[in-house]
Chain A
Amino acid sequence: GAVVSQHPSWVICKSGTSVKIECRSLDFQATTMFWYRQFPKQSLMLMATSNEGSKATYEQGVEKDKFLINHASLTLSTLTVTSAHPEDSSFYICSASPGTATGQYFGPGTRLTVT
């Protein structure tokens, strides 16, 4: 149980285009979903927290107009990287939580490469 999927697992896009990453909780309802970014040999950095039906809360330094997050249902959150640039190339990981005391379940991540 408690499986979280991400799609796609990797994507290559051209500079200036937008790309959408999906995060789904497959066997539970996620009241809260999180998006993290991981650079090579670095820790995961929290980008934003989203609750179903509410606007996402972004961490300091994360551009909300560039990284659009939608949490339209209790099983789906999407991250759209708009007008992507090479510096946006990274590993993006989502997690989902069914409640405050149960912790988070992580997806396998999406590798984004912007050329």
Chain B
Amino acid sequence: GNSVTQMEGPVTLSEEAFLTINCTYTATGYPSLFWYVQYPGEGLQLLLKATKADDKGSNKGFEATYRKETTSFHLEKGSVQVSDSAVYFCALSDSGGGADGLTFGKGTHLIIQP
């Protein structure tokens, strides 16, 4: 079956530091890949997604590239802000993400210190 593995936190960084959160997956076929973010007290929000190999998803300064050869979808940001503090979930879907349930990683708690 499908599975997602992501680095466990908490990850603590200083403001303006470079961020990488690793995510690897196991799936049959060609899944769509997602990063969701959950701010305190709020529901999950889609941060970015990629639907085929070599696609790069980007949003709010975050980027992730769908690497089929390494089955990875690492999340990166060049300069983090305190407001980026949240829990980040890597996920995959066998479809575009609307018709099938998502398989999630355990989530990475990111803490950005001023």
A1 within 8 A of B: no
A13 within 8 A of B: no
B106: chain A residues at CB < 8 Å are: 41-43
Q: How far is the CA of A41 from the CA of B106 in the complex (A)?
A: 7
| A residues contacting the other copy or chain, number (CB 8 A) | 27
Q: How far is the CA of A45 from the CA of B107 in the complex (A)?
A: 12
B36: chain A residues at CB < 8 Å are: 106
| B residues contacting the other copy or chain, number (CB 8 A) | 24
Known: A43-B4, A43-B104, A46-B103. A104 touches B98 (CB 8 A): yes
Other-chain contact of B99, A4, A97, A105 (Cβ < 8 Å): A97
Nearest chain B residue, comparing its CB with the CB of A57: B101
Q: What are 27 inter-chain pairs, A to B, with CB distance below 8 A? A: A32-B98, A34-B101, A36-B104, A41-B106, A43-B4, A43-B106, A44-B44, A44-B102, A45-B104, A59-B101, A95-B44, A97-B97, A100-B99, A101-B96, A101-B98, A102-B98, A103-B46, A103-B97, A103-B98, A104-B46, A104-B97, A106-B36, A106-B43, A107-B43, A108-B41, A108-B43, A109-B43
Binding site for B on A (CB under 8 A): 4, 32, 34, 36, 41-46, 49, 59, 93, 95, 97-109
